Amino acid sequence: MRGRSPSALRTVSALAAVATYLLIVLGAVVRASGSGLGCPDWPLCYGQPIPPGYTPAIIEYSHRAWGAVVSLLILATLVLWARAYQYRPDVVLKGVGILALLVLQIALGAITVKNELPPYVVALHLGMAMILFGILIALAVTVRLQSGAVGETPSPKFTRLAWGASGAVFLLLLLGTYVRASGATGACIGFPTCNGAWLPLGVNRLIDIHIAHRLLALLVAAHLTATVIRAWRHERNVPAVGAIAGAVAVGLVAQLGIGIWVVSSGFPPTALVLHVAGAGALWGSTVALLAATLHGGKDAVVSGGASTLLGAEAG
């Protein structure tokens, strides 16, 4: 397929990415509200298809129901993607891989419930959700850019910055899930100090984990700032890069503000939900930036760029 992507694929892939993001946020609501075991069995809720009428069960079952909607949207995206590329073997194979990831994610959700929310399984569940979300963002951006105008090719330096940005944010996400799984979320109160002290490393393991997350966040923020500045100054003519870099900048500022609020306000549930939502938005925007960068000058680079991430431009 060369030229415009089918409108159905562009629309459904975008809907799948947005719906997956909302599912991640709803999962954060489930955890923050203590509703993770609102339905102690799976896939039913107390052995029935309709949950009983109390809040934890409704919240938990709403997450499952929305997950079913997301699964259908992902399946539809993969079918449309394969059809757009005339069922080319490499595209079909990648679609099967994404579908396998979705099945694994559903299985992890069932394991989480049936084993009464073991923390490391919960962390893995969130990490897998972010990976799936990132793949869907990359696919949605790539198929949309295939329908746009040809622009300049990004510089090798910026391509490295974009790879580093997405990798750094994902590493920060993994460390954040480990902070939550290890019980280190509330180990440090206050900002910029931790329990009234500057870098109290070695006091206990949980404080060390929490401080590591903060320090990595500062390093990631510095890298993202350099990436955004480079995008605005030198890569303005690469399709969509300037606009997506703006989204990265907004997401970074918002997430830093939410993080400071979280540690300064005693970790209220609303702040914890927004922290996960902000992390997901920042991750999605950096993946979108990478996808746009790899797409670059469309036909000039797609076969060696975006194809590496998802699938080559069809001939």
pLDDT tens for residues 153-208? 888 999 999 999 999 999 999 888 888 878 888 888 888 898 888 888 888 899 99
Q: In the chain, where are the structural domains located? A: 1-148, 151-296
Question: How long, in residues, is the chain?
Answer: 315
Cα–Cα distance measured from residue 34 to residue 145, given in angstroms and rounded to the nearest whole number: 41
ω into 192 cis (within 30 of 0): yes
pLDDT at 314: 36
Cα–Cα distance measured from residue 288 to residue 209, given in angstroms and rounded to the nearest whole number: 29
Look up residue 262 and give its two tokens: 């979280």
Q: How far apart are the first and last CA of the chain?
A: 6
Taking the chain (315 residues) in runs of 10, the rounded mean pLDDT of each run is 69 95 91 78 78 84 90 95 90 93 85 68 81 95 78 87 95 88 85 88 90 94 96 88 94 93 85 91 96 68 40 40
pLDDT at 75: 95
Q: Which residues contact 17 (CB under 8 A, 6 or more apart)?
A: 133, 136, 137, 139, 140, 284
Determine contact, residues 158/230, Cβ cutoff 8 Å: yes
Cα–Cα distance measured from residue 83 to residue 43, given in angstroms and rounded to the nearest whole number: 32
Cα–Cα distance measured from residue 3 to residue 269, given in angstroms and rounded to the nearest whole number: 47
Cα–Cα distance measured from residue 97 to residue 38, given in angstroms and rounded to the nearest whole number: 31
> The pTM is what?
0.86
Strand partners, 197: 194
φ/ψ (deg, to 5) at 120: -75, -30
pLDDT at 5: 63
Cα–Cα distance measured from residue 43 to residue 60, given in angstroms and rounded to the nearest whole number: 11
pLDDT at 229: 96
